[in-house]
Amino acid sequence: MALFVMIGCGSAMGIPHTSGWVLMVSLAFGFSIVALAYASGHHSGGHINCAVTLGLVLAGECSLAQGVGNFVAQMLGSILGAAILCLIYPKGNDVTGGLGSNAVGEGWEWYNALIGEIMGTFLLMHVVLQTACHDKSVGNRAQAALAIGLAVFMAHVMLIPIDGCSINPTRSFGPALVAQIRYNKTPFENMWIFWVGPLAGAALAVATYKAQDFLQKTVQGISLIACSAEFVAMALFVMIGCGSAMGIPHTSGWVLMVSLAFGFSIVALAYASGHHSGGHINCAVTLGLVLAGECSLAQGVGNFVAQMLGSILGAAILCLIYPKGNDVTGGLGSNAVGEGWEWYNALIGEIMGTFLLMHVVLQTACHDKSVGNRAQAALAIGLAVFLAHVMLIPIDGCSINPTRSFGPALVAQIRYNKTPFENMWIFWVGPLAGAALAVATYKAQDFLQKTVQGISLIACSAEFVAMALFV
């Protein structure tokens, strides 16, 4: 905890606040958790957060006595980390003016921050329970710290503009206490938000986790737990991905930040839901897997309905976190063809972006020969999503996911009385066609399983596709 506070808050203290600053600080907090969870997990479980400790106690994964001991240690570590920052940063060099303490930002209400903290910690605790605790995720246990750290990154990208992002009461307490002594300020004014929000979010995640026990059944060929996993994952994906785009002015650094938020969201959520549903989180991917014979038609329909409902819920949650005037996208991050681009530019971009994603899904998560790298499939898939966003955000905001596009567009139409459905067909036809094209290419490889004069045709085809996508 001392190192987490020192690095996380310290990263915020030395650089002026720009969109690049938000990305840098988010990466510092997220990657700190990755490194420190790997470094401490074999001793303590790597909680580094009293909300996580509470959640694990409620889930029966940590004893009450150990939870109390961890909490005391975390509080003392947070104070020590903040005190160390006083020795590193002179008062005049601390651009935060308070050792990176949390506070509700100007233009935001207390309830925006409270709901944001609840949902940000829900995301974190959900990923912790599904990747580090669930029996079915044992095969990916070595990647749990990575997924958890990426969840922390995602929450910070969304919440830093609102309240600096806590999702960790012990992280908030130490800097606030030391800053009160050093600067004679009162950073405890809204401290209750940074305790109630994270603790409530952790408890809500545990309740959702326990509720899955009642969904271990199949109805007419549809796994209810798979549908619930897709519903939760899609809601969180829309909340984080679109939310990351809504709070920061559009600069070149903004494109990178939003692309990383969408990509890393898929990494974390695929690890958290893959053992239940396969981690589709995209109806184009679901369609591709049905066409490839990797998912039944009935389950595909169930997943699609769950994804649509999850997308709408995620967009609705964003309305509670972001006031109208603070949404710099003006439409909950809805997709639209950009000025200077034609509809066919966006359509071809969506086809090829989804082809890239579906190609990576099929080759890393489905192909018999990639079994040895299966634990890294979610990482490869998330990076494919990142790559598509880097290319397509300037063109149409990047969909490659019809269900991600539908929810924000529907809720934005109600909230802003706009018509973001004008080009919606592009964000359905493009991704679905791209997924189908990737499946056709995947199936065509069956005809290339031969060698001609010492040349493997399938190796040549793999190099051809990879180079085309790379360029």
Per residue in 18-44, pLDDT (tens digit) is 668 999 999 999 999 999 999 999 999
Residue 254 scores a pLDDT above 80: yes
Give the end-to-end CA distance of the chain in Å, rounded to a whole number.
43
Collapsing DSSP states into helix, strand and coil, what is residue 22?
A: helix
pLDDT at 294: 97
Query: Averaged over 295-322, what is the pLDDT?
Result: 97
Q: What are 381-407's pLDDT values in tens digits? A: 999 999 999 999 999 999 999 999 999
Query: Do 400 and 353 meet the contact criterion of CB atoms below 8 Å apart?
Result: yes
Residue 366 scores a pLDDT above 80: yes
Residue 411 scores a pLDDT above 90: yes
Residue 188 scores a pLDDT above 80: no
Q: What are 80-115's pLDDT values in tens digits? A: 999 999 999 999 899 999 999 999 999 999 999 999
Alpha helices in 247-376 (DSSP H): 252-277, 283-291, 297-321, 343-361
pLDDT at 120: 98
Residue 219 scores a pLDDT above 90: no
Residue 451 scores a pLDDT above 80: no
Q: Which of 183, 198, 171, 124 is nearest to 5 (CA)?
A: 171
pLDDT band at 214 (very low <50, low <70, confident <90, very high): confident
Within 10 angstroms of residue 142's Cβ, the number of other Cβ atoms is 10
Q: Which of 344, 345, 374 is nearest to 362 (CA)?
A: 374
Both tokens of residue 453? 């004069």
Weakest mean pLDDT among 20-24, 148-152, 335-339, 454-458: 454-458
Both tokens of residue 354? 């989804």
Query: Do 261 and 156 meet the contact criterion of CB atoms below 8 Å apart?
Result: no
Residue 446 scores a pLDDT above 80: no
Distance (Å, rounded) from C-alpha 143 to C-alpha 262? Answer: 19
pLDDT band at 216 (very low <50, low <70, confident <90, very high): confident
Which residue did the predictor score with more confidence, 421 or 245? 245
Rg, C-alpha atoms of the chain: 22
pTM of the model: 0.96
Distance (Å, rounded) from C-alpha 31 to C-alpha 4? Answer: 10
Query: Averaged over 425-441, what is the pLDDT?
Result: 97
Q: Which of 226, 70, 232, 210 is nearest to 151 (CA)?
A: 232
Cα–Cα distances in angstroms (integers) from residue 277 to residues 137, 183, 280, 281, 405, in the given order: 12, 50, 7, 9, 21
pLDDT band at 359 (very low <50, low <70, confident <90, very high): very high
Query: Do 253 and 18 meet the contact criterion of CB atoms below 8 Å apart?
Result: yes
Q: Which of 315, 52, 42 is nearest to 167 (CA)?
A: 52
DSSP 362: I
Angle, vertex CA 127, rays to CA 122 and CA 131, nearest 5 = 155
Collapsing DSSP states into helix, strand and coil, what is residue 452?
A: strand
What average pLDDT does the chain have? 94
Query: Averaged over 176-182, what is the pLDDT?
Result: 94
Which residue did the predictor score with more confidence, 453 or 71? 71
Distance (Å, rounded) from C-alpha 372 to C-alpha 359? Answer: 18
